[in-house]
């Protein structure tokens, strides 16, 4: 299989700055840092605009004042704005941003690990594991409050199974992909069987969950996502140096003192956890982890810590924009998972055509 991970066209010369102290030296790409700043501003503006939309329209300035704590009115309108913004719309917007960021970072990790831009956690079966356990949880009438935990465990157990079955004196990227696709297909078949086997009143809510949506998000979901992204997102940024070393091959990595299997295991756990946290809240949302890392590399260059942050910001922008389009600008309101699939499927075919993959 061709190595197409770094094919992103000619890149401008990076502008690096090094921050030094007594204990560490940290190199910063100022060009990518500028990209991150612009994208962050765009994300804030988009999030504020998204909270103005709905059956009860709120002016942009009123939403901004509410978020900044400047809406101190006590009349009926001020009370309505406070309730709608903080209780109904803000959790959904934040969940979309955090889920998009987590999925994008997870996709960047897996694409870097196997050196293939056509790989993502939803393609190699991680999302299928979460979906199978979540559907089983719903159709067997287990407590709904524990559904995110069940889906998270399903994704993690699937990742463990893929890792064990891929092991043959070490982990081969190609073998990891093939095993993941096989396990994902089997779990998808099991999910379909449960949806057909169980009564319609039980299968219907489960089927809706498998479409992927941030509808009904609440503050508890935001805290869960933010905590997971803080922990595993930080690990993802830190692991970028090791991931880039692995790109050079096993022999060079060993020569530089990298423990191959231990490093690969840590990177796989980080990528799986980021995907599992997202799927546990919103269900399987496809193609975000596939598309966004590729777009980030085209704009900012090969994977690094700063590019990983940039990838997360683009992921948040993309998923939030997809949710806004699906909710407000289509003839029928659609879950965000269907919108990303509609965009991602043609893009995947385009990548497949460009990559010239040969087996």
pLDDT of residue 22: 63
**What token pair was written down for 273?**
């956890």
Per-residue pLDDT, averaged over 326-345, amounts to 90
| Model confidence band, residue 300 (pLDDT cutoffs 50, 70, 90) | confident
282, with CB counted inside 10 A (0-12, 13-18, 19+), is buried
The answer to whether position 5 is within a domain reads no
The answer to whether position 19 is within a domain reads no
The answer to whether position 332 is within a domain reads yes
pLDDT of residue 77: 85
The answer to whether position 9 is within a domain reads no
The answer to whether position 189 is within a domain reads yes
CA–CA–CA angle 171, 172, 173 (5° rounding): 115
**Using one digit for the tens of pLDDT, what is the confidence trace for 254-263?**
777 777 778 8
**What token pair was written down for 250?**
């096993």
Query: With 80 as the cut, is the pLDDT of residue 17 above it?
Result: no
From 25-29, 46-50, 261-265, 285-289, the region with the lowest mean pLDDT: 25-29
Among 70-79, 206-215, 300-309, 318-327, top mean pLDDT goes to 318-327
d(CA 98, CA 320): 9
| Model confidence band, residue 24 (pLDDT cutoffs 50, 70, 90) | low
pLDDT of residue 185: 92
Per-residue pLDDT, averaged over 270-286, amounts to 88
Q: How many domains does the chain have?
A: 1
pLDDT of residue 25: 60
pLDDT of residue 356: 58
Cβ count near 228 (within 10 Å): 20
Residue 229 domain boundaries: 31-355
pLDDT of residue 59: 92
SS3 27: strand
Per-residue pLDDT, averaged over 318-331, amounts to 93
Query: With 80 as the cut, is the pLDDT of residue 357 above it?
Result: no
**What token pair was written down for 10?**
């000619």
Mean pLDDT, rounded, of the chain: 85
CA–CA–CA angle 177, 179, 185 (5° rounding): 100
The answer to whether position 6 is within a domain reads no
The answer to whether position 12 is within a domain reads no
Residues 6+ positions from 12 with CB-CB distance below 8 Å: 31
CA–CA–CA angle 187, 206, 322 (5° rounding): 90
CATH number of 103's domain:
1.10.3470.10
**Using one digit for the tens of pLDDT, what is the confidence trace for 177-205?**
889 999 999 999 999 999 898 888 888 88
pLDDT of residue 2: 42
The answer to whether position 262 is within a domain reads yes
Query: How many Cα atoms occupy the beta-carbon half-sphere of 274 within 13 Å?
Result: 33
Query: With 90 as the cut, is the pLDDT of residue 91 above it?
Result: yes
- Crossing angle, helix 90-114 and helix 288-300, to 10 degrees? 70
Query: With 60 as the cut, is the pLDDT of residue 5 above it?
Result: no
**Using one digit for the tens of pLDDT, what is the confidence trace for 117-164?**
778 888 888 888 988 998 999 899 888 888 888 888 888 899 889 888
Query: With 70 as the cut, is the pLDDT of residue 312 above it?
Result: yes
């Amino acid at each position: 299989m061709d190595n197409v991970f770094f094919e992103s066209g000619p890149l401008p010369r990076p502008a690096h700055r090094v921050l030094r102290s007594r204990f560490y030296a940290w190199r910063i790409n100022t060009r990518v840092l500028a990209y991150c700043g612009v994208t962050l501003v765009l994300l804030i503006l988009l999030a504020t605009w998204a909270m103005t939309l709905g059956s009860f329209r709120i002016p942009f300035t009123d939403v901004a004042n509410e978020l900044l704590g400047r809406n101190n009115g006590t009349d009926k309108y001020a009370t309505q704005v406070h309730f709608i913004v903080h209780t109904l719309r803000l959790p959904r917007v934040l969940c979309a941003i955090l889920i998009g960021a987590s999925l994008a970072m997870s996709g960047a990790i897996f694409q870097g690990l196997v050196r293939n831009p056509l790989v993502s956690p939803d393609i190699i079966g991680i999302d299928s594991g979460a979906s199978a356990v979540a559907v089983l949880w719903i159709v067997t009438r287990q407590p709904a409050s524990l559904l995110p935990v069940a889906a998270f465990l399903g994704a993690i157990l699937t990742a463990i199974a893929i890792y064990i079955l891929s092991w043959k004196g070490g982990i081969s990227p190609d073998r990891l992909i093939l095993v993941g696709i096989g396990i994902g297909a089997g779990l998808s078949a099991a999910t379909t069987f449960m949806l057909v086997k169980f009564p319609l009143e039980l299968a219907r809510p489960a089927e809706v969950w498998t479409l992927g949506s941030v509808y009904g998000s609440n503050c508890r979901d935001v805290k869960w996502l933010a905590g997971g992204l803080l922990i595993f997102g930080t690990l993802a940024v830190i692991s970028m140096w090791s991931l880039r070393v692995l790109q050079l091959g096993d022999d060079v990595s060993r020569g530089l003192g990298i423990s191959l299997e231990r490093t690969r295991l840590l990177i796989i756990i980080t990528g799986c956890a980021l995907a599992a946290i997202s799927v546990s809240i919103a269900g399987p949302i496809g193609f975000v982890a596939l598309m966004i890392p590729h777009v980030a590399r085209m704009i900012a260059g090969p994977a690094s810590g700063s590019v990983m942050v940039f990838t997360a910001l683009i992921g948040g922008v993309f998923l939030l924009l997809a949710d806004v389009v699906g909710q407000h600008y289509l003839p029928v309101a659609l879950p965000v998972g269907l919108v990303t699939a509609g965009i991602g499927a043609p893009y995947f075919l385009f990548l497949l055509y460009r990559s010239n993959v040969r087996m």
